[in-house]
Structure 1
Amino acid sequence: MHDRNTHIRRVKYTAFGLRIASELILPELIPAEPGVEEDVVIRQADLSAWREQLEQTNFVMQDERFMFQIPGTAIYAIREGKEIEVSMLPGADPDTVRLYILGTCMGVLLLQKRTLPIHGSAVVIGGRVYAFVGESGAGKSTLAAAFRHAGYQMVSDDVIAINVTASAAIVYPAYPQQKLGLESLLQLEALQEKHVLHKEHVLSLTDGNPATPQYRDLRKIAGEFNKYAVPAVNEFYNDPLPLGGVFELVNNSSNGELMRGGEPVMVTEQPLNKLECLHTLLQHTYRRGIIPRMSLGEWYFDTAARMARKVEGWRLLRDSSFFTASEVVQRVLELIHKEEHYGSHEFS
């Protein structure tokens, strides 16, 4: 790794279990203790020589360096799990530049370090981390926010970094920020105030009108419609913990067909066997399309298979015609407490 311009000031942070020294200010991350030796360097570089080639393809692999371009934003190069180079394009939005550093770049870097990145949100329950995965719009971030509001700490809201050891799957916390839509923010606020928020009111606020005063200071996520960066410093757990289980969230509009005790059932669960759990982990790996191009297919499958043997898995089907965050929180806690009672978290 070459290190030019060593006089340039670098700010040190921690994220994903890594100590990071960065020439770019990354306000989303937690500052590191002074004097620590960095694991990763983020620096600005001139990668313009690769621009024409990157315009013809999605990425370039050169030895241990993975490069990609986001038009109008930057060219990025990630090398050997140790370095991220950023070549900002003219007129680039700094927020968008950072979005890809903390997202795709970190995902590639974790893969280079043989740490599996799962796409989802994760919270701490009973000394273990539980991950929530699912397709876009399944409610992963909203559920993690509901757990925060219920007094639980989060460890990630996008990339869940997991290192599989001989005895456990260990999760390394990301950084204390969530991405939440305005509708979710309003619904969660209503939940806290213990009154029902009419759906028409929510829609009127998300239909291009200004956000309510308490959300005006939130930074809007670049490229996302009505999604905001929500700090979660006070509810963030910043130490590694074992992964206890994975919940796959699936939207399922039942139209009130499923009833229990005369009431509609808004959340139902299906336990996942080890093969189904493996499939879920493979399906929801962050930037999984990159993995075969990095020649990591064998390592990837073996790591996910070992992880699937060490954790519990469930599929949660929620009625998408209702706001079900509090019901899902309650059901998740019931399932975890039931598993703990029967001692099924013992690793074989």
Structure 2
Amino acid sequence: MRRYYYRIYGFTLVSDYEFPQFLSADETSDPDIVVQIGHITGDIKKLADEGKRFGFREKEMWFNTGVGLFWIHDKYISFEGYNGGTIDDAAQYISGLCLSIYLWLHGMIMLHGACLRLKDKTIIVAGGSGSGKSSTSTELIKRGALLIADDVTGIKKENGQYYVYPAFPGQKLCADQVEKNGICTEGLNQVKYDLNKYEIPRNDIFYDAPSKVDHMFWIDLGQVDRVEMKDIDGAGKVQAVIKAIFINWFFNEAFKLEAEDILRCIEFAKDIRIHQITRNRQKDTLNEIVNYIETQIA
């Protein structure tokens, strides 16, 4: 079986399955992460067949998404189609959910948001699903921003400092954003499980270097008459980082934040500026939000 080598979030990954959107890397005999088709134990399959959705142990987890079965353990991400789902269906969860869980278990902070390089500053645009992260980051790209990561930003500690590491040169956009920005969908991969989004290649504006984060903008939805924007101080900064954790919903069911998890969130939050932006879903406030972001990083 052919093996594919990639560089993602500062790690070398080897895979049985091809991910065209990832950045290729030189072949190595000692990769950091191994993605493999199959190799899931019989006891996990039995638990899934009995209706269990996940199981969790220290540095290890398995879960069932309905179309795929996944086992994250040691340096491996094992996966296969499940319940009628194909390998291609299951593989769509690798770049987001699976890598986020794997890297969180190995000490990284994984945030639900895009990371961009604009005016020599590195910023994270974070928020829950439907908050407007993608439209905001797309507008910033139109204004000259470079893409470091889309949807999931990975941060790890090196030599006492926290750095964001590049993901891959691609962006997922909903169909309405694709149409609004005049992007042709012919030949694009459609990510059906994720709000029917399309994967847009961004090789031409990809920033392929680790960097320290300067700002994080947390976008929230609320019953407000006009968009509200402000700096967050003190404990509010840490709370914003914790809210932005990509796999936050897993903490309600399987994970729990340990003391070391909270500590890394505190350390990361203390050295950056964090802003809260509250917008009304029914109102078009995109230009106002983007203008505020540009003003804050100037």
TM-score by length of 2: 0.89
Give, in angstroms, the shift of residue 254 of structure 1.
Answer: 4.5
- 2:2 aligned partner, one-letter code: R
Q: Deviations over 1:233-265 (max 9, x none)?
A: 11111211101111011234645xx5xxxxxxx
Q: How does 1:245-260 map to 2 (within 5 A)?
A: 245-252=215-222, 254-255=224-225
| Inter-partner Cα distance in structure 2 for 1:128 and 1:299 | 28
Query: 2:220·2:279 contact (CA, 8 Å) conserved in 1?
Result: yes
| Inter-partner Cα distance in structure 1 for 2:297 and 2:98 | 33
Is 1:76 matched with 2:76? no
| Inter-partner Cα distance in structure 1 for 2:91 and 2:115 | 21
Which runs of no fewer than 5 residues in structure 2 stay unpaired? none
Give, in angstroms, the shift of residue 62 of structure 1.
Answer: 4.9
Is 1:214 matched with 2:162? no
Is 1:297 matched with 2:258? yes
Query: 1:291·1:297 contact (CA, 8 Å) conserved in 2?
Result: no
| Inter-partner Cα distance in structure 2 for 1:90 and 1:40 | 26
Which runs of no fewer than 5 residues in structure 1 stay unpaired? 1-7, 190-212, 259-266, 338-348
| Inter-partner Cα distance in structure 1 for 2:221 and 2:255 | 33
**Which residue pairs with 1:202 in the alignment?**
none
Q: In the comparison of the two structures, how many residue pairs are matched? A: 295
**Which residue pairs with 1:284 in the alignment?**
244
CA RMSD after TM alignment: 2.4
Which of 32, 45, 50 is matched with 1:51 structurally?
Answer: 45
Compared CA separation, residues 89 and 57, structure 1 to 2 (3 A):
closer
Give, in angstroms, the shift of residue 295 of structure 1.
Answer: 6.3
Query: 1:269·1:314 contact (CA, 8 Å) conserved in 2?
Result: yes
**Which residue pairs with 1:60 in the alignment?**
55
| 1:146 match: secondary structure | helix
**Which residue pairs with 1:273 in the alignment?**
233
| 1:138 match: secondary structure | coil
Query: 1:43·1:86 contact (CA, 8 Å) conserved in 2?
Result: yes
Is 1:118 matched with 2:111? yes
Give, in angstroms, the shift of residue 316 of structure 1.
Answer: 1.4
Q: How does 1:163-174 map to 2 (within 5 A)?
A: 163-165=156-158, 167-174=160-167
Taking only the aligned residue pairs, the percentage that are identical comes to 20
- 1:116 aligned partner, one-letter code: I
Is 1:231 matched with 2:201? yes
Give, in angstroms, the shift of residue 215 of structure 1.
Answer: 2.5
Compared CA separation, residues 79 and 231, structure 1 to 2 (3 A):
same
TM-score by length of 1: 0.77
Give, in angstroms, the shift of residue 33 of structure 1.
Answer: 2.9
Higher helix share: 1
Compared CA separation, residues 165 and 277, structure 1 to 2 (3 A):
farther
